[in-house]
A and B are shown apart, each in its own frame.
Chain A
Amino acid sequence: MSLQSLDITRRSATTTPPPQQRQQKEVAKLIDVTKCIGCKACQSACQEWNDLREEVGINEGSYQNPHDLTANSWTLMRFAETDRNGRLEWLIRKDGCMHCADPGCLKACPSPGAIIQYSNGIVDFQEEHCIGCGYCIAGCPFDIPRLSRKDGKVYKCTLCSDRVSVGLEPACIKACPTQALVFGSKEDMIDHAQDRIADLKERGFDQAGLYDPAGVGGTHVMYVLHHADQPQLYNDLPKDPVISPTVGLWKGILKPLATAAMLFTALAGFFHYVTIGPNEVEEDEEEHRA
């Protein structure tokens, strides 16, 4: 948590540069949905490493379990059945934080240092500084952060920042039996994805492609999709995710402008008083009797 860190690119609600003397190489997790068998080993490994347990739920007629991301479940296999060219396709997507280069959660957060982005691209919540306002939930274009009922703090995937900082791969990567999950420098992951995409195209998936959406500056969790032209097939993965313009206006221009305008209003009052002066009831008016 509050360990000294020298490689912070962005820090929430902070207007001066955070400690960033050390520069790390950008990392990325690549999720090749075309190789995923939906075994949920990544889900288990995530809970195992982070020492969290999901409550036992109920079956609602889908393999998806739990039904949604929670404060305990930071990654979730989402199962979608679609009909394409008269064939059933079972599309399985490992959902979780995308670690955006331009993180909406961090932009929206009002608490200094509750969300930080390391120079390796990992966006991490520092729960001891979290105030539980949920602005990050409004800021996120991927509907990822989850507010805990237990402590009023928000939780999400850390990309195993604790493991990555000591040279290990995230727990989910280690657990994946088909190498659908791979981890490394962002550059290498893009290269690896291109090989996979070339292979998929050869095998008839003309629209295979990499999901690294530019609207949020690219992400540090990327997907190889067989239908990159229709990411929404994969349980509503947004096609062109961006930080909502509403949030952009609120946290962009309004914040400094409105603060300055309020300060100016108060100053205008003061200077009115020392230049034009108070409006006093004059003595003879007081003495006058109606």
Chain B
Amino acid sequence: MKTESPPSLIRRYTADERFNHWLTAITFLLLAFSGLALFHPSLFWFTQFFGGPVWTRILHPYIGVAMFLSFAGLALKFWHHNLIGRSDVEWLKRIRDVVRNREEGLPEVDRYNAGQKLLFWTMIATIPTLLVTGILIWRPWFAGYFPIDLVRIAALLHAICAFVMISGIIVHIYAAIWIRGTVGAMVRGTVTRAWARKHHPGWYKRIARGGEKP
């Protein structure tokens, strides 16, 4: 890829949005590693990243609250770009072509494609559930005040939601690696015009017309 002069780059994310995204990402990674450590014995050694098993147990819920608040910022900022439309259904029906890099004739993608939107709504479903179930099983502060059957259900739901969320984020991270030119959008805030035209033509057209601030 040749070096582009600044005018050929367009802004996709502001500094505030990037900060918010990476704060969420860092808290997510800490949560995923500390949570997995307590989920499966083969991953218990992850507790060493947190100063030992007891510190892992102590820190995890506080980091969880931080991630929830950080993600709430992202959700408020981006929800309206993630509404699912008819073309998203068409796009999903052709997911086999998408994963094979065959993009001819795909429905026009706006700011986000259907895969990105699905990830967004997966996070919307799982993160608040993780917060609520996490509080229900949070010892020593809260769990003792709830009926034991509720605590049990919360523990199970917490594990299921975490599994769904972590799997979703693995796909999210891989997609950023797979679709070249994407990482820069969230690191420097910019993408090339060609990238925008190829992956988000609907969004690009609106930017190019100058009708919308990026």
Contacts and interface: CB of A to CB of B under 8 A. Distances in A.
B155 A250 contact: yes
27 contacts: A110-B38, A111-B53, A112-B41, A129-B53, A131-B57, A132-B139, A133-B139, A134-B139, A134-B143, A137-B143, A138-B152, A138-B155, A143-B148, A149-B140, A246-B156, A254-B156, A258-B160, A258-B163, A265-B167, A265-B171, A273-B178, A279-B178, A280-B181, A281-B1, A285-B197, A288-B197, A290-B204
Name which of B149, B152, B166, B174 has the most chain A CB atoms within 10 A of its CB. B152
A45 to B, nearest CB: 28
B76 interface: no
A154 B151 CA distance: 17
A264 B174 CA distance: 13
A83 interface: no
Given A132-B140, A244-B149, A254 B174 contact: no
Main secondary structure of the interface of B (DSSP, over half): helix
Interface in B152-173: 152-153, 155-156, 159-160, 163, 166-167, 170-171, 173
Given A133-B38, A138-B155, A286-B4, A278 B179 contact: yes
Interface in B124-155: 137, 139-140, 143-144, 148-149, 151-153, 155
A152 B155 CA distance: 19
Given A250-B155, A259-B42, A279-B179, A131 B53 contact: yes
Contacts of B57: 131-133
Contacts of B159: 250, 254-255, 258
Chain A, interface residues (CB within 8 Å), range: 35 or more
Contacts of B1: 280-281, 283, 286
A15 B41 contact: yes
Chain B, interface residues (CB within 8 Å), range: 35 or more
Interface string B84-123: 0000000000000001110100000000000000000000
A134 B56 CA distance: 14
A13 B178 contact: no
Nearest to B57: A131
A77 B167 CA distance: 49
Contacts, number: 144
A122 B151 CA distance: 26
Interface of A: 13-15, 110-112, 129, 131-135, 137-138, 143, 147, 149, 152, 244, 246-247, 249-250, 254-256, 258-259, 261-262, 265-266, 269, 272-273, 276-283, 285-286, 288-290
A276 B192 CA distance: 23
Contacts of B160: 254, 258
Given A262-B170, A269-B170, A283-B1, 19 more contacts: A131-B54, A244-B152, A246-B152, A246-B153, A250-B156, A254-B160, A254-B163, A255-B40, A258-B39, A259-B42, A259-B43, A262-B167, A272-B99, A278-B177, A278-B180, A279-B180, A280-B1, A281-B181, A283-B2
B188 interface: no
Contact of B170 (A129, A137, A265): A265
